[in-house]
Amino acid sequence: MKNLFDLRGERILVTGAGGSIGGATARVCAALGAELFIADLKAPTELGSELKAKAAALDNTKRDDVNALVKDIGHIDALIDTSGYYVKGDWIDGGDDWEELFARHMAINVKGPMNLVRAVLPQMQKRGNGRIVLTGSMSARNAGSTLAVEPAYAASKGALHTLVRYFARQVAAQGIVVNGVSPGPILTPLLVSAKQPFDLESYPMKRFGQPEEIAWPAAFLASRGASFTTGAMLDVNGGMCFS
């Protein structure tokens, strides 16, 4: 029987690869044998050299740029989008600055994934197969691991979860599966910079997750082993909340 978790021969695009989760995901996919293409706002060239992957700069909010990258890559079996944006603001008294912050969260966390999905779908539809994996957040379910979570972030990830289900239903009959990974608090520079009052003793596992603990589930969803899984948001949060 063929090992459906083996990614050899699979052409996979990982976006947000310059981040901790994206970098870990790229490394996992490479370890499983995938032919990798990686992108971020600043081209992750060092990671590209490490993994022998083509690295590119990409602003996912610019549809023309997304379309150009996908056209340049050509055949893509799976897209894993790990890009995301989180900046804390004063949502009550933030004034015009917070309005801009809200728009930025929506642009990167909602419009960006839509641009990517719209770009890769035509070729997947033509072949009758493909896998798309987007990155949500536990914040979409319970508004965050602390009361200090930025509401624009929670709202944008809630929209992303809805899009996963929407896309999945739209293309299910065409042999394409669309799923998401929904992380809890993962120990990344972004989490550290947020400076929020995390209480690890209140967490079921008493610890933060590691980027690799998101990468492996994402790689599964990008594999042919997930052929009958679609519209799912896979909770990877150490038991902090459940579907």
Enzyme catalytic residues: 153
Q: Are 186 and 211 in contact (CB under 8 A)?
A: yes
- In sequence order, the β-bridge partners of residue 239 are none
Query: Phi and psi (nearest 5°) for 74?
Result: 85, -135
3-state SS assignment for residue 79: strand
**Looking at this protein, which amino acid is placed at residue 44?**
P
Q: Are 83 and 105 in contact (CB under 8 A)?
A: no
User: Distance between CA 13 and CA 105 in Å, rounded?
Assistant: 22
Alpha carbon distances (Å) from 1 to 4, 7, 43, 238: 9, 15, 38, 32
Query: Phi and psi (nearest 5°) for 214?
Result: -95, -35
CA 102, 217, 224, 174 dihedral sign is negative
**DSSP H helical ranges for 128-182:** 139-142, 151-171
Q: Tokens in use for 65?
A: 């740029």
Q: Kindly report the CA angle at 81 between 80 and 87, in degrees rounded to 5?
A: 155
Closest CA to 133 of 215, 34, 190: 215
